[in-house]
Structure 1
Amino acid sequence: MESNVVALNTEVCQWKKNSYQEFMRFLQFQLLSLNIGNIREHEFFSKKFCDGGLAIGRHGLTAQWLIDCMGQVMSTDTVKSITCHQLDSDGFVSQIIRVAVEFTNNQTKKYIVKMPETTNIKAALELTTQQKMPEGADEQFIGGLTMFFNREVDFYQMERIPGLRLPQYYHSQQWDNGKVTGAIIMQELTGMVSVPYYESLNIQQISSIGSQLLNLHLFSIGMSDEWKEKFTFPMEFIDTVSNMTDIVKLYVSRNPELEEGFSRVEKMYTSRALFVRLLRDSHKALGIDDYLCHGDLWFYNLLWHPVQPGSESASDHLGAIIDWQNVHTGSVAEDFCHMLTFCCDTETRRFAERNFLPFYFKQLKTAAKRAGKHLNLTLLQFLRAYRRNFIAHALHLPFIVSIMLCVKPAQDETVQRIRNKQLIQKVIGAWEDALEAMNDEYPDFAL
């Protein structure tokens, strides 16, 4: 698929209106599902292994725990030394530790140990609000974090989806707060890079992602009941996006060029029933079966091979999709909506909608036929499912933009201002197309 598509050639905000509790409620799902890197209060470093008590992370796990879990590939007798340190790619809700194991045969292998924590949520909120939060405020996230972390554990413990590019998985354990530390041990994807949130994917990169979604969607046809029951649609998402109006208003108030567009879409933000209709039910109303969705397919969950070894620039070849904490069953178009809306400028997104999506459907149809599966889906249904689900992501976009400009600002004010202007244009384009889709798909909703 990747070779058949033509390639296409801000100020830091602060929260001044609601209480900490209200703000955290608005941000909860985003911070639980978003992985952005470099949001943490302090470094963690473990010295070399000398006995089984070497700490791995801050949550009570040790070198002996790692050796016991990895018994198929290592033992105390074969391990010469272990060193570990925290990666720069920590997200809001994870501590991620790189573990380098030197064996007695002088070979060295590297692993990732991912553990849940709320420290980075607090740090992110303080960056966004520009205010110090009270001690323990992040503890209210534990319930949601447990659900999301254990969902990713379940995903890795299920059968492998053919063709899907994932880190190699070794071991995982469910998180039971206060009793068992949640953990996932996986391959370190050395040298892979992400595209920054303020840039845009190109069509060849979109095509590379599409080749992976093809595997996910093909697997979803005739998906077992076990998958459907384990990964139901998360209503927590509905609760959050239907309560993000004030944060979007704050972003609009700091960028007057958004005021006219916001006045036309503001009513949509205040309708929880509309978000249920768009996100959970829109594909079902079209007669489309549930498909498996990554649920957070955006910049920092897409890892690319670099253009050359050591480069920070991404090539057009997708290396892996990570962070499956929000995997669920839903619309066949959801991951495309999320990725194209959040990761592309308006011109690229519209080009992909016109040209790539029909091409992708043909590829899916061909692949299903080759696999002996019945694709209960037409091109018109697929495109309408995309337009309906897209509306919600277009409304969601300025919410995420406002957060990212705060937690990952440019060091130079001029660069920050340029980034913000580019993102404003992306928001305006998304709102324009969302309005058109609403008029076509939901003429009964009075704007």
Structure 2
Amino acid sequence: MNNYFVEPTFIYGNIDGTNTEVKWLIECLEKNCLVFKKLIGRSRIKDIKTCDCSNGKGFISKVYKVSILFEKKDILPYQVIIKIPCLEKVKQSCTLQKVQSKNAVLNADMVQALHLRECEFYETFTCIKSLKYPDCYGTREWNYGKQEGVIILKYLGDIGVSNDFFKSFNLQQMENLFTQILYLQSHFLTSNDETRLEKFPNLFKPERVVLRQPLFRKNWKLIKSFIDDNLWKNIDEDVQTLIDNIYYIIKYVTQDLLALEGNSYTFVMGDLWNFNILHQKNENNEAGDEICGIIDWQTFHCGSIGSDLARSIVICTDHVLRKEVIEWELLPNYYTNLKNEVESRGSHFKITWDMFKLNYDFCFIVQTFQLLYISGLILHTQNAPIEKGNEIWDARKKETGLKVYHAFNDSIQIAKRLRPEFLIIK
């Protein structure tokens, strides 16, 4: 392999900023990427440059764009992504929240498990037809303190871009996202592997999620400062009770709900929100309607049919589009399309519309907490000013506050209708 490089000793180094060996990266690319294999057959490698492109978005991993430059000047640089799990921001978050790492929702063991789960996805499920995941050229498990975990992925930054957190998806973007969810769920519902639930359980158990209670309370206090008092005062007591009962809510939605007669598990991506959905760039280099990639599969698991739908609806859309169009039109259409797709493949679709909607409603409550969590995280990582006076940030904070308010207001109505004990302090 030394003859692949202008400078033969280059092969013995690491990718800049990492402990990942150049030799391992090149071996994976040569074996698994036809484009790279053709390029390396035409020219030697002159240099390898690395750029951290996490842009503050990665919480439990660093993402590097690796550019491989060739000796022949007529060959453009070959670009690829390497994703490496890390604990840097997790530790910072623990410090800010004043909790010990071992008591945090995300600690070394959990991040290690999440990395392994993503490796398993790319090694096992990249056969799902039409699902827009990036090509994977190699994975390596993370052995904390001994071996750096790595995932090598196709670079999509030249064609794709994610929507900003503060910008709602439009109707066409949501329809295209629903199509991607349908591909994932229909694959599960038409295959016969009975061991999937044991292989891919939800890593976020109720006892782990409950550790976020202090952060939920802190973020809710922040959100209240963004909206009129006459809004939040009407729901404040119920929101506080929902936070108090988060363990019981998570347990019911992730365990008891799924055990109901007539219900069924399905594949859940688990983290469908703005930054993990890449849209085809339009003429203005902004997010267009078409989806070209869904990234970050660490939370992939078997779970509720309503989970990915609720997460994407609650987090990616504004409350007007959600309540007036998506929940009234897109959601029933999705159910019909999924049922038709599963049955067209010769499989039985046992979930009724009422059971489907029940799953969505309960998952909506859970994803409202995720919205609350992510809102605080984004505002913190983007250094949003606390005080008023910045016109752009004032508008963003108000819209975020209204989005969280309406999600909680609707969650309270769901709880009153379906599970009143969620609103009673235990």
Whether these two folds match at TM > 0.5 is: yes
Counterpart residue type for residue 361 of structure 1: Y
Counterpart residue type for residue 239 of structure 1: E
Structure-1 residue corresponding to 2:272: 297
| The one of 376, 381, 391 aligned to 2:355 | 381
User: Is 1:178 the equivalent of 2:145?
Assistant: yes
What's the CA shift for 1:112? 0.7
> Secondary structure of 1:172's match?
strand
TM-score scaled by structure 2?
0.84
Structure-1 residue corresponding to 2:44: 79
Structure-2 residue corresponding to 1:207: 175
| The one of 302, 305, 323 aligned to 1:332 | 305
Structure-1 residue corresponding to 2:248: 273
What's the CA shift for 1:431? 1.2
> Secondary structure of 1:212's match?
helix
Deviations 1:124-177 (A, max 9, x none): 567x66x9x999999x82111100011100110104211110111111111112
Q: Between the two proteins, what is the percent identity of the paired residues?
A: 23
Note if contact 2:342-2:348 (Cα within 8 Å) is conserved in structure 1. yes
What's the CA shift for 1:340? 0.8
Residue 413 to residue 406, structure 1, CA distance change in 2 (3 Å): farther
What's the CA shift for 1:262? 2.1
> Secondary structure of 2:122's match?
helix
Distance in 2 between residues matched to 1:206 and 1:392, nearest whole Å: 20
Distance in 2 between residues matched to 1:364 and 1:230, nearest whole Å: 24
Runs of at least 4 residues off by over 6 Å: 133-138
| The one of 214, 229, 232 aligned to 1:246 | 214
What's the CA shift for 1:87? 1.3
Note if contact 1:243-1:270 (Cα within 8 Å) is conserved in structure 2. no
What's the CA shift for 1:435? 1.3
Q: Kindly report the root-mean-square deviation, in angstroms, between the aligned alpha carbons of the 2 structures.
A: 2.9
Structure-1 residue corresponding to 2:295: 322
Question: Residues 191-206 of structure 1: matches in 2 within 5 Å?
Answer: 191=158, 192-206=160-174
Counterpart residue type for residue 154 of structure 2: Q
Note if contact 1:295-1:334 (Cα within 8 Å) is conserved in structure 2. yes
**Structure 1: stretches of 5+ with no match in the other structure:** 1-47
What's the CA shift for 1:250? 2.5
Distance in 1 between residues matched to 2:268 and 2:156, nearest whole Å: 22
User: Is 1:395 the equivalent of 2:369?
Assistant: yes
What is the total number of aligned residue pairs between the two structures?
394
| Greater RCO structure (CA 8 Å; 6+ sep) | 1
> Secondary structure of 1:52's match?
helix
Residue 67 to residue 76, structure 1, CA distance change in 2 (3 Å): farther
Counterpart residue type for residue 112 of structure 1: I
Counterpart residue type for residue 369 of structure 2: L
Note if contact 1:241-1:396 (Cα within 8 Å) is conserved in structure 2. no
Question: Residues 26-425 of structure 1: matches in 2 within 5 Å?
Answer: 51-72=10-31, 73-74=36-37, 78-81=43-46, 82-89=48-55, 91-103=58-70, 106-107=74-75, 108-123=77-92, 141-159=107-125, 160-191=127-158, 192-221=160-189, 222-236=191-205, 238-254=206-222, 255-256=224-225, 257=229, 258-271=232-245, 272-285=247-260, 287-308=262-283, 311=285, 313-350=286-323, 351-410=325-384, 413-425=390-402
Deviations 1:372-424 (A, max 9, x none): 22112111211111011111222332232122111124588332222111111
> Secondary structure of 2:262's match?
coil
What's the CA shift for 1:335? 0.3
Q: Which segment drifts farther, 330-339 or 362-371?
A: 362-371
What's the CA shift for 1:283? 3.4
What's the CA shift for 1:215? 0.5
Q: Which segment drifts farther, 61-70 or 149-158?
A: 61-70
**Structure 2: stretches of 5+ with no match in the other structure:** 1-6
Counterpart residue type for residue 393 of structure 2: Q
